[in-house]
Structure 1
């Protein structure tokens, strides 16, 4: 007959020394040298993923929720694109009308209250010198058809922890 071992197990349980109520905090990254804090690093172009969504929506305009989020943006994103977005020379990949805009969001541990907010691109070089490392997500938004998709992601900052 097999019996439960229960509390007879000896040893260390990973994470047992941490309170369940305490928020998870990743270990701080080591500082590293950055030649130009305002030069984008780790650039990811989301063109292929964007084209795949455009193709699905062209074949099936009533696609499931995974795809309709690209044509039903949050009202905040539309307002941000209208008021703070940078106009581009490219037409919308979905409706092909002019007026595609780029909205830049910033994320990072060093940013404090600024994390998750829209930042005008001219302010990014100044922030790159003030903060250790943060990610910039550039979202393209069409005000005509409400298309939206991540255009680029990249990292800025001087590589030193500031907080």
Structure 2
């Protein structure tokens, strides 16, 4: 299953579906406030609109808007805040580097601010 712009599966992937479900269960029970689960920073929301990959999933909080998967890559010779990946070609070029890079996919609702880390994977040939 592709998530964001990252390839389907790689060794050492970390999947955060269980943590996501625990967070949503806590919100539905009322033990976690909406202000905690819908706390996306303005830049993350902007990246969801401008660079995100549309998901087929509706936001689990507002149940009104489609989620977007935002892909970031961190590693040597990249900005300290990471690089937001906007095209599959950009990800392919980064994956071909000799350095060890880390890719993160965050699902985001640009409308209500829901966001959750979905997956972390290794990239590059380092």
Counterpart secondary structure, 1:113: coil
The answer to whether the 8 Å contact 1:129/1:157 transfers is yes
For residues 98-117 of structure 1, the aligned pairs below 5 Å read 98-108=65-75, 110-113=76-79, 116-117=82-83
RMSD over equivalenced CA pairs, Å: 2.2
Q: Which has the larger radius of gyration?
A: 1
Alignment of 1:57 onto 2:27 = yes
Which protein is richer in strand relative to its size?
Answer: 2
The C-alpha deviation readout for 1:21-42, integer Å capped at 9, x for no partner, is: xxxxxxxxxxxxxxxxx77331
Structure 1 unmatched ranges of 5 or more: 1-37
Give 2:3's aligned residue: none
Structure 1 residue 131 displacement after superposition: 3.9
Given the alignment of the two structures, is residue 152 of structure 1 paired with residue 119 of structure 2, yes or no? yes
Is the contact between residue 106 and residue 115 of structure 1 (CA under 8 Å) also seen in structure 2? no
* TM-score of the pair, normalised by structure 1: 0.64
Partner of 1:44: 14
Native 8 Å contact 1:111 1:131 kept in 2 = no
Q: What is the total number of aligned residue pairs between the two structures?
A: 118
Unpaired segments of 5 or more residues in structure 2?
1-6
